[in-house]
Structure 1
């Protein structure tokens, strides 16, 4: 222990400590412990001092022993060193005690010996006074009507003249600058003032048709429409598609966050009102543009979906405001076949489609709407209501009894005009022949479904096809072998309503077709194994024979009648008292021609 103390004292190179130790060595009294005491560090001064070690045993057996002098000097030196250390560390004792109380890990890495920082962490700090919040300045609410009322027609006209001159051969840029003008006009309209997604979803069709164009002054609409009419169809088509894409992009954004998150509020762009305005203006002035775009819009999944359907319906409605036929064309060729193709479709979607149709059929009133639609029943070689649409509408109108829904009555109410639009036309014309060729196979398929009402209506459509074109008889002949049930339904209908139908049918084409069917029935009967199939073949053959018999009897009666007429004319000629061979021969020839015409007309009735 003494050697350790000596080593520690040697390591402390302080001159003051050495001087103090030399001055106090002579005055130190004898100590029985021989100066062997434990040395403590300043940083551990807060700990309780250890007890003084017991006195070392007397190894020599005499008082003092041989190490007595060495022990005294060691003890004195130890006291001097301890006193010097206490004096040197006295000024920092408070900080040392504070550091001893603060955990090591909580001391500052930059100032490890600074006890003020450590102590400050232990003491609670007073909270800084909060700065008062500045009150938010509420911007004045600007409605669509307010913004629209500030648009000046003369200012718009000057702007249109300017962009037309600046971008003379760039119609696409002209249309974008046209949209920019309205974008600046409606820039202060917030989403809360024009919640278009909610409006289209919750409002009925008649209420939305004039939104938001009803707020725009009439002179502004006229100025814009006149300018739009001078743009090319291709440029307008691209512009309309861009407007629709801009609207759809808002609906395609994320509307539902993670589980537990708040719902995302739709943020309407500043120019969103303007897009609806310029789109409505364009479609009302140039509705034909939508006819060319309808297959791209409705046939693309980007534009499909329950939340997007009200926008598509609104777009078609805008075109109908400019031209009712254009709106109906887009509805029957694109919207209705897409939405109602499945019988298990969404009821809300079906309701929206029917709302649009009912508006077409009653605008401005039912009589005028019907006249306008019939006048445009065939447009550029295409029927306003194609064959596929009539077939689908017929199935919606005549479902099986247990599949009727609330919308069935609405289909029944609109079916007569839809059928009329699909079948109207001059018999023998190109459009009518094309319609009959397309409808006949669809009617054959519908007649064989287990639905009596649908089969009855399909039979009427089939017979209409026979009355419009001789080519329909040839098509019937081709389809007969695989669709005997349909042929039975048609033959039964012709037999039952012979008096009313025979004048409308082509007797020669009908007779040739029935003979062909009869021959096919005989061949099919030999190959048939099912009893039900055999019964259908025999029933078809029975009706074929009956109708052929009626046609033959009619021809025989006609021949007899012509013979009687000819004999009577000859007898009158021979018995005439004033016989003029030349004049009377001319009369006889004229009579023969008249009889021939009568015979031809009579044959058509059979």
Structure 2
């Protein structure tokens, strides 16, 4: 997918043809090439063979619709005078048979030029939707003011089912490289226009332009269909999207949420992957985060995790393209935001957190992946456990105990960071004591814990001997108390063994005495 970002700015500038400055026209049923000088390539309307066989009057109308409209003010006025129709009305005018014939025509005519096929495909819908104005499709207002549940169906809610099926079946068989480049071009068109008409500028404060926004309905239609049938494209394109400033910023979140919502319609895992790996990065900057951004993102996540069989789907495919849907770093962000930050979305985040946490820690028992996950989680969890925020400490402590249960190597890791995380260690030690019965029955062996507790006690004694900090001394004494109590829990047999030995000795003594007594009685008798 290298080189996808080249020269993709506005819709009118897309030129996938290897021969720049040439345009194909159909004249008297024959395809001819006309060379143009000093002009950019403009999308052309391609007439299918079926359309070309229509009567003269109908053909003239189709040709008129197929004419490329320059972006001059005069043409804009002519377009404004056209009768306006809704998206639904425009879609109803599609003849399914003619549309299928058109798809077959461009597939054969540009057999090895999938990028050109995609442009012609878009031009078809541009012609169909030419009379839909911005007032009939106020996409900027829809993105900014609508709920995700509503915006996700726009504009495909009105497309005929047969047309949609023909389209996505055809799109699914296009080359990935061609689709990837085309998606970036479509996305750039939306993002660029959206930014202009929000009055957002990075260097200066510009007023909202007086000119009305372009009606981008065709861009939304084609992009939505591609994303739904090929959602994995966004994972492939994510490095490009993440590295480009044009897609970043809270002002772009409504657009990116719509894009991700479309992909999640095709694959819930892709939707969650993009929320975590892209949208969360915007929210990690607390200085610039805001409630509207959180609301949009939470709506997408809520929609994903509440979908039928979402939990099973996400757990079974917790890794995509070699990366986890919810990596440990994202789990830390979620944990801290859910249990230490109070905002209007806290309760909603607490509802989805358990599912996201399950996805984050999902891995086959005993696998290398599980070992890597537990060791990464242990590092941030032990630290968070000691930060003194009650809800955060409890959740972090639970994660630490899960790590110790799933991976015995985490005991050695705990030993290495014990003294520098003494407060977190105290909380984990206390949790082990309080939940000893439930914890102990899950362990194959308590030997690793026993060894760690012994080393902790040595560390406690050494640290207390050389520590002048009264508060740290007090913490060490508390830790030592819990370590001693756990030692008793781990080796209760030592106490009972002493009793058994003493009882055994006593029994032997009694037995010997009884034997001598019996002997004496027998002798005297």
Q: TM-score, normalised by structure 2?
A: 0.73
Residue of structure 1 in register with 2:210 after alignment:
265
Deviations 1:79-117 (A, max 9, x none): xxxxxxxxxxxxxxxxxxxxxxxxxxxxxxxxxxxxxxx
Q: Which residue of 1 aligns with 2:127?
A: 184
The aligned counterpart of 2:274 is: 330
Measure how far apart 1:419 and its partner are. Answer: 2.2
- Alpha-carbon spacing, 1:251–1:559, altered in 2? closer, same or farther (3 Å): farther
- How far 1:380 moved relative to its partner? 5.3
Matched, 1:513 2:420: no
- Structure 2 residue corresponding to 1:356, chosen from 300, 318, 332: 300
Match of 1:314 among 255, 258, 273: 258
Counterpart of 1:424 in structure 2 is 362
Say if 1:252 and 1:379 are closer, same or farther in 2 by CA, change over 3 A: closer
Match of 1:205 in 2: 148
Q: Is this contact kept in 2: 1:337–1:389, CA < 8 A? A: no
1:523 and 1:167, CA in 2 relative to 1: closer, same or farther beyond 3 A? farther
Counterparts of residues 7-18 of structure 1 (less than 5 Å):
none
> Are residues 1:346 and 2:284 paired?
no
**Which one of the candidate residues 310, 314, 318 is aligned to 1:377?**
318
Alpha carbons 1:341, 1:392 under 8 Å: kept:
no
Once the 2 structures are TM-superposed, how far is the Cα of residue 547 of structure 1 from its aligned partner?
2.2
Which structure is higher in RCO with an 8 Å CA cutoff and minimum separation 6?
2
Q: For 1:537 and 1:257, how far apart are their aligned partners in 2? A: 55
For 1:407 and 1:255, how far apart are their aligned partners in 2?
25
Q: For the residues of structure 2 that align with 1:307 and 1:153, how far apart are their CA atoms?
A: 39
Q: Is the 8 A contact 1:427 1:469 kept in 2?
A: no
Judge conservation of contact 2:196–2:208 (CA < 8 Å) in 1: no
Tell which deviates more after alignment, 197-206 or 519-528: 519-528
Distance 1:340 1:324 in 2: 23
Residue 396 of structure 1: how far off its partner (Å): 2.2
Aligned alpha-carbon RMSD (Å): 3.0
- The corresponding residue for 1:544 is 483
Relative to 1, partners in 2 of residues 1:389 and 1:137: Cα closer, same or farther, differing over 3 Å?
Answer: closer
Give the alignment of 1:521-600 within 5 angstroms.
521-554=460-493
Taking the TM superposition and a 5 Å limit, the aligned residue runs for 1:493-508 are: 493-505=431-443, 506-508=445-447
- Match of residue 171 from structure 1: 114
Query: Are the aligned partners of 2:143 and 2:151 in contact in 1 as well (CA < 8 Å)?
Result: yes
Taking structure 1 as reference, are residues 559 and 249 closer, same or farther at Cα in structure 2, changes over 3 Å only? Answer: farther
C-alpha contact 1:209 1:317 (8 A) present in aligned 2: yes
TM-score by length of 1: 0.64
Q: Deviations for 1:230-284, whole angstroms, at most 9, x for unmatched residues?
A: 123333222212211111111233655999x9852354446x2111111111111
- How far apart in 2 are the matches of 1:466 and 1:280? 45
Q: Identify which of 229, 243, 248 aligns with 1:304.
A: 248
Correspondence 1:190-229 to 2 at 5 A = 190-229=133-172
SS in 1 for 2:382: helix
| Contact residue 248 and residue 282 of structure 2 kept, 8 A | no
CA spacing shift, 1:188–1:555, aligned 2, 3 Å: farther
- Contact 1:340–1:350 under 8 Å retained in 2: no
Q: What is the DSSP-based 3-state SS (H/G/I as helix, E as strand, rest coil) of the residue aligned with 1:495?
A: helix
- Which of these residues, 334, 346, 365, is aligned with residue 408 of structure 1? 346
Once the two structures are TM-superposed, the CA of residue 212 in structure 1 deviates from its matched residue by 0.7
Going from structure 1 to structure 2, the CA distance change for 1:170 and 1:554 (only over 3 Å counts) comes to farther
With over 3 angstroms needed to count, the CA separation of the structure-2 counterparts of 1:263 and 1:244, relative to structure 1, is: closer
CA shift in 2, pair 1:257/1:329, >3 Å: closer
Please, which runs of 5 or more residues in structure 1 have no aligned partner? 1-135, 562-606
Shift in Å, 1:482: 1.4
Stretches of structure 2 that go unaligned for 5 or more consecutive residues are 1-78, 501-525
Deviations 1:391-436, CA, capped at 9 Å, x for gaps? 222222222xxx6332111122222222222233433223322221
Matched residue SS, 1:483: helix
Contact 2:197 2:213 in 1 (8 A): no
- Measured after TM superposition, the shift of residue 486 of structure 1 is 1.2
State the match for 1:457 in structure 2: 395
Distance (whole Å) between structure 2 residues aligned to residue 298 and residue 186 of structure 1: 32
Q: For 2:197 and 2:139, locate their aligned partners in 1 and report how far apart those are by CA, in whole Å.
A: 17
Retained in 1: the 8 A contact 2:85–2:131? yes
- The whole-number CA distance in structure 2 between the counterparts of 1:559 and 1:171 is 83
Q: Which residue number in structure 2 is paired with residue 244 of structure 1?
A: 187
Could you tell which deviates more after superposition, 221-230 or 519-528?
A: 519-528
Shift of the 248–558 alpha-carbon distance from structure 1 to 2, 3 Å rule, reads farther
How far is 1:210 from its partner? 1.0
Q: Conserved in 1, the CA contact under 8 Å of 2:386 and 2:427?
A: no
SS state at 2:188 partner: helix
Q: Deviations over 1:322-357 (max 9, x none)?
A: 112221222123213422552872011111111111
Alignment of 1:125-144 (within 5 A): 138-144=81-87
What is the alpha-carbon distance in structure 2 between the residues aligned to residue 257 and residue 467 of structure 1? 51
Contact 1:337 1:392 in 2 (8 A): no
Extract structure 1 runs of 4+ deviating beyond 6 A. 555-561
Report the Cα distance in structure 2 between the residues aligned to 1:520 and 1:309, rounded to whole angstroms. 50
215-224 vs 293-302, which moves further: 293-302
Are positions 1:154 and 2:92 aligned together?
no
User: Structure 1, residues 543-563: CA drift from partner, whole Å, max 9, x if none?
Assistant: 2233234323347869999xx
The Cα shift of 1:201 comes to 0.8
SS of 1:176's partner is helix
Contact 2:88 2:158 in 1 (8 A): yes
How far apart, in 2, do the equivalents of 1:182 and 1:170 lie? Answer: 19
